[in-house]
Chains A and B, each alone.
Chain A
């Protein structure tokens, strides 16, 4: 009996170790080492450790940082609203072509940022559909592909599918009786949204929002294709790196990008008080 228990105990310990070892190796090799290297590298330039300070004080860098955060936050909010409503609707209603529609809506997930940028140009560029339509209606040429609006549109385009899928999965798990109970008690649609749906979907909204925000913060391809006037942080990093060959600043900016993303997610998580990890 004793021997058996001892064996079992040792067995689980060994198993835990076997399972943990790859995780530790991966964490060390692909996170700890590169991050440490990057952190030190950033301090190796002309400015030394002040490179970090420069990133958050220099007007050009700061502006880039702020516009990236604002853009990402706006994209996240809009994506959650659109994806949330569409996700709940699609999980509640079955109709002919349901599967096909969901499949089509999730297609953009596979597109690289360059393709998304190209689509935005096709839509709102100099020869874009919207522009031509506006012109035909006598509203003048409408071109916004290369502005913040164009970027916003592009980011929205690749963010919605991910959020949609997460929300649909969560909405399907939500007990429909909850909503029916609220209705029987006399709750209005607005009260049901506020008291049943949003609280029930909160974990999904938070994790989907976190993923969406982090993806937007780091998105590069779309911004690169649109060659926008506003430079988002990943673009600024790229410019520093290739054009000015200021590797130290680029490295410092990368770390600041990571830190700011992490910070915003942590704040959002605290504000909503949920236990779901800001996974990204």
Chain B
């Protein structure tokens, strides 16, 4: 075994992208990816995730002035062939004219690795991805999940210094997505390779990313750990995009937001005046005998197995979403007393 290269750190400086047709896909941005880190790009379709990934890969170059660094080396002018990156695509992009084993061996073959070394490495990867039985199969005889395993093995085979994933699980059904996501997670931890993972699925980004880059309209809205993104969203867009968020407006005074339905505790000193607060559905519970913060009426209830989701009217402009553990047996229209268990965030730049 060759000793593993130390993981690669990546830096982008002032990288913007304007396409030939004038589309401004990315505003100038800076970004640093730590060695061995898995960074997730999260955002709605069309926000520029793929474009940013392609700049890192070397499939596109940034507008003049933008620079890409791999460790201390500037790679801006280098095409993808010379960057030693592995890519996994949503469409799998397996070569249909080659078998599974030939696909996995392709990166080694074009590099002129001798046949026996190729064979050993392919066997290693088939075992790693648990697809030994598929070695001789044609690509069109594989299921979607099997295809993505092969694509993963093909990308890893030449020991790339950076792994890039562009929505690799989007084309798969929910169950398979979950299983493969766990597998990719285990693989990335084992390999220790620096990785960038593009997805529009917040659960995937939260589970895989050491840090998440939330993107909106070609800009970075927030960079942070999944915890930071979820509990301290930088703005309303991030708050809405990652998980469900309740909004209530009223008058802020003495660390509380007062509204006709009651009052909500705030997590920090906030200047008095009209304002808006946000809180997650799981931070609210039915008040029972304890202190009651808010009173509303039950508009709907959905039993989700592990919890029950209630929609409560009469508090905010829109129904408040409340997730409570276990079943709830209340008729619709009943008044429900609610307690906020952890202080709510004051919304910045509320509109």
Contacts and interface: CB of A to CB of B under 8 A. Distances in A.
A2 interface: no
A180 B85 CA distance: 11
B87 A180 contact: yes
Interface stretch (A57-65, A182-190, A213-221): A182-190
Given A177-B89, A195-B106, A184 B155 contact: yes
B93 A181 contact: yes
Contact of A180 (B93, B96, B98, B111): B93
Interface residues of A, number: 18
B281 interface: no
Contacts of A177: 89, 91, 93
Contacts of B80: 180, 183-184
Contacts of A32: none
A114 interface: no
15 contacts: A175-B91, A180-B59, A181-B94, A181-B151, A184-B81, A184-B85, A184-B86, A184-B160, A185-B110, A185-B154, A186-B111, A186-B158, A195-B95, A195-B106, A199-B95
B143 interface: no
Given A184-B57, A187-B81, 19 more contacts: A175-B91, A177-B91, A180-B89, A180-B93, A181-B94, A181-B95, A182-B106, A183-B59, A184-B80, A184-B86, A184-B87, A184-B160, A185-B86, A185-B154, A186-B81, A186-B107, A186-B110, A188-B110, A199-B97
B79 interface: yes
Given A175-B93, A178-B95, A183 B79 contact: yes
Given A184-B86, A185-B158, A187-B81, A178 B110 contact: no
Query: Interface SS of chain A: helix, strand, loop or mixed?
Result: helix
A181 B111 CA distance: 14
A181 B158 contact: no
A184 B110 CA distance: 11
5 A-B pairs with least C-beta separation = A185-B107, A177-B93, A199-B97, A181-B93, A184-B87
Nearest to A178: B93
A199 B111 CA distance: 20
Interface string B148-186: 000100110010100010000000000000000000000
B99 to A, nearest CB: 13
B96 to A, nearest CB: 7
Interface of A: 175, 177-178, 180-188, 191, 195-196, 199-200, 202
Nearest to A180: B59
A191 B110 CA distance: 8
Contacts of A182: 95, 106, 110
Contacts of B87: 180-181, 184
Interface in B74-115: 79-81, 85-87, 89, 91, 93-98, 106-107, 110-111
Nearest to A185: B107
B91 A187 contact: no
The residue in A180, A184, A195, A200 that gathers the most chain B C-beta atoms within 10 A of its C-beta is A184
A176 B85 CA distance: 17
Nearest to B111: A186
B106 A185 contact: yes
Interface in B102-156: 106-107, 110-111, 151, 154-155
A273 to B, nearest CB: 11
A186 B95 CA distance: 15
A213 B255 CA distance: 84
Contact of A188 (B81, B91, B94, B95): B81
A188 B107 CA distance: 11
Contacts of B91: 175, 177
A187 B95 CA distance: 13
B1 to A, nearest CB: 21
A177 B106 CA distance: 15
A205 to B, nearest CB: 13
Contacts of A180: 59, 80, 87, 89, 93
